């Protein structure tokens, strides 16, 4: 009986071990290559890569160019003996030396975009406004000379012209104003990385509209700007900011940065303003800013506000009005307070100058006034400067 049990246990052990030996002896299967889905599935994935952004970039890219500029800069020559010759004793005997200046050509790069098939293109005034020689490079590798038609330094817009018989790809301006939060695409040539290649593309949203920036030393007035977080760097200046339909909603112009690189706060001149500037420059070669109102204004102070019986300081104080001037004909009087022009609040002389800059001689604008504690509206027709 004991021998029979031992025999049965031996058989059971052999049975349990056999699968393990056979499993260990089987070779490992070779690695399988994963093939991309074929047919309809592959087509669906390929189509999913084509978004509104990629389609807009494909349409816009041929009309975006690199603007290569040569301008002459006037630099003061630094004489190594300047410290010696500036000695008061030397000046006493030989007279003070006049500063010596030298001129040298300097090359710089920016961006631009074609706006008509006959070769008109837009860029920034700070890119091409002082150019003596301009060459435009297309994404397909072509380079063509361009000439400066005219500029508007106040808005930092310049209009160039390529003289060619061949129709060129071009972009159109959006008719509708941008919507805060909508996707936008900035195209250009950042840092001059590519002299003849596809432009660099960055994507973001409209962060805000109607942003006003402080006027700089060049006399530029950046008002009603579009703010975007699409990366804009040096070299992008003058390039287009487009919506998902490929329409130009602005011209990339400025960034807010302490380092000079993008931190997600960029600004573009809105398309409506650019279109008006371009039309005027194309017709007249410049923007007529010889406006005249006959108003003499000063910033409102607490003392003036109290003297006028105002409960809070607001508006712009009219100190005087020229007789027979547009302001006098509109019925504006000394000691009036200008509250708004065309619905936009005016609270400083800077506000006033910047707002008037948006108009041309002959334009009629609505001015909201405060007089003797009562508000009223008059129509002011902008005149032309007497000078």
Q: How many CB atoms within 10 Å of residue 96?
A: 11
CA distances from 139 to 112, 156, 198 (A): 12, 25, 5
3-state secondary structure of 194: coil
H/E stretch holding 73? strand 64-76
3-state SS, residue 103: strand
* C-alpha torsion 330→336→340→343, nearest 10: -50
With the CA atoms of 39, 40, 42 and 45 taken in that order, what torsion angle do they form, in degrees rounded to the nearest 10? 170
Q: Give catalytic status of residue 290 as yes or no.
A: no
* Active-site residue flag, 372: no
Contact between residue 141 and residue 196 where contact means Cβ atoms under 8 Å apart: yes
Scanning 117-212, the segments in alpha helix (DSSP H) are 125-128
Q: Which helix (H) or strand (E) holds 142?
A: none
Looking at 156, 224, 229, 358, which residue is catalytic? 156
Q: What b/e string do you get for 167-185 counting C-beta neighbours within 10 Å, with b at 16 or more?
A: ebbbbebbeeebeeeebbb
Spot the catalytic one: 66, 237, 262, 340: 237
**Beta bridge pairs of residue 112:** 65
Active site residue 126: yes
CA dihedral (147, 150, 156, 160) positive or negative = negative
Question: Exactly one of 66, 108, 126, 207 is catalytic; which is it?
Answer: 126
Q: Return the CA Rg of the chain.
A: 34
Token digits of residue 139: 């994404």
To which residue do tokens 């400025």 refer?
254
Active-site residue set: 126, 156, 237
């Amino acid at each position: 009986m004991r021998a029979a049990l031992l025999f049965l246990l031996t058989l059971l052990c052999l049975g349990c071990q056999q699968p393990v030996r056979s499993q260990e002896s089987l070779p490992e299967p070779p690695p399988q290559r994963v093939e991309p889905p074929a047919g309809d599935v592959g087509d669906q994935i390929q189509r999913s890569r084509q978004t509104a952004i990629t389609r807009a970039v494909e349409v816009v890219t041929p009309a975006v160019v690199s603007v290569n500029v040569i301008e002459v800069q006037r630099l003061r020559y630094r004489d190594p003996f300047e410290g010696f010759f500036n000695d008061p004793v030397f000046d006493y005997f030989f007279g003070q030396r006049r500063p010596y200046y030298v001129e040298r050509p300097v090359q710089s790069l920016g961006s631009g975009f074609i706006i008509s098939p006959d070769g008109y293109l837009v860029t920034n005034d700070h890119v091409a406004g002082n150019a003596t020689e301009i060459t435009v490079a297309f994404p397909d590798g072509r380079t063509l000379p361009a000439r400066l038609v005219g500029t508007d330094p106040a808005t930092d817009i310049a209009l160039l012209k390529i003289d060619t018989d061949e129709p060129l790809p071009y972009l159109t301006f959006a008719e509708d104003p941008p919507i805060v939060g909508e996707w936008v695409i900035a195209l250009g040539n950042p840092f001059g990385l590519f002299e003849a290649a596809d432009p660099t593309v960055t994507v973001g949203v409209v962060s805000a509209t109607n942003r006003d920036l402080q006027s700089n030393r060049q006399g530029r007035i950046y008002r009603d700007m579009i703010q975007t977080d699409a990366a804009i760097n040096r070299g992008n200046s003058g390039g287009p900011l487009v919506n998902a339909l490929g329409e130009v909603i602005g011209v990339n112009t400025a960034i807010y940065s302490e380092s000079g690189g993008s931190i997600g706060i960029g600004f573009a001149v809105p398309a409506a303003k650019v279109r008006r500037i371009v039309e005027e420059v194309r017709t007249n070669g410049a923007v007529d800013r010889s406006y005249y109102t006959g108003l003499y204004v000063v910033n409102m102070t607490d003392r003036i506000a109290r003297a006028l019986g105002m409960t809070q300081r607001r508006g712009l104080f009219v100190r005087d009005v020229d007789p027979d001037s547009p302001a006098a004909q509109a019925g504006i009087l000394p000691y009036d307070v200008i509250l708004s022009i065309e619905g936009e609040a005016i609270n400083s002389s800077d506000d006033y100058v910047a707002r008037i800059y948006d108009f041309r001689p002959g334009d009629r604008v609505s001015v909201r006034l405060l007089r003797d504690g009562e508000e009223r509206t008059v129509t002011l027709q902008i005149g032309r400067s007497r000078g």
